[in-house]
Each structure stands twice: as structure tokens, then as C-alpha cells.
């Protein structure tokens, strides 16, 4: 289940986030925030739940695509 929260961020930071969305790196501002939170949590303590080998492979593919300027769209959980 998703939860909605309100977060205040400086205008300059929001402009940068929206620019990344406009460039097509992310589909929405929310996606940028979720990605940043996941990366932060991984950095400070690793994943709280282990990933399956299949999911880990898809994450690696997505990271490689991102580095090459591509976007992988996930339409549903089965596409993971």
C-alpha cells in the first residue's frame, strides 16, 4: 500500500528534480524521490529485505541502462 506524505524542499532542488523528469530520466517527481530514498537507505545500511536473484539482475540492468541514458519502464510487478 502506498502512503502520501508532504515534503518541503528548496525551490532550487525542486527545479533540479523537475529538470531530470523533463529530460526523461524519471517519469515523475515522486519517482525521483522514491529512487533517492532507496539509494540513501541502501547506502546507510543495505536493503532491509533480500532481493531475489531475478530482481537483483533486473536492478543491475536498470542501473546500466540509466548510466547509458536509457529508461526502463516497469508496467507491472511481473515485468520485474
pTM beyond 0.85: the answer is: no
pLDDT attached to residue 15: 96
Distance CA 25, CA 28 (A): 9
Residues 39-68: b if buried by 16+ CB within 10 A, e if exposed: eeeeeeeeeeeeeeeeeeebeeeeeeeeee
Rounded CA separation 39/22 (Å): 21
Q: Mind listing the pLDDT tens digit for each residue in 17-66?
A: 999 999 998 999 998 998 898 888 888 876 666 667 787 788 778 888 88
pLDDT of residue 37: 86
Q: Evaluate whether 51 touches 59 at the Cβ level (below 8 Å).
A: yes
pLDDT at 47: 60
- Quick one: pLDDT at residue 46? 67
**Are 63 and 72 in contact, with CB atoms under 8 Å apart?**
no
Amino acid at each position: 500500500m502506498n502512503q502520501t506524505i508532504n515534503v518541503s524542499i528548496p525551490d532550487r532542488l525542486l527545479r533540479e528534480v523537475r529538470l531530470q523528469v523533463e529530460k526523461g530520466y524519471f517519469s515523475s517527481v515522486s519517482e525521483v524521490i522514491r529512487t533517492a530514498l532507496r539509494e540513501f537507505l541502501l547506502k546507510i545500511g543495505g536493503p532491509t529485505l533480500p532481493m531475489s536473484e531475478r530482481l537483483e539482475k533486473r536492478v543491475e540492468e536498470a542501473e546500466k541502462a540509466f548510466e547509458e541514458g536509457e529508461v526502463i519502464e516497469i508496467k507491472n510487478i511481473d515485468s520485474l
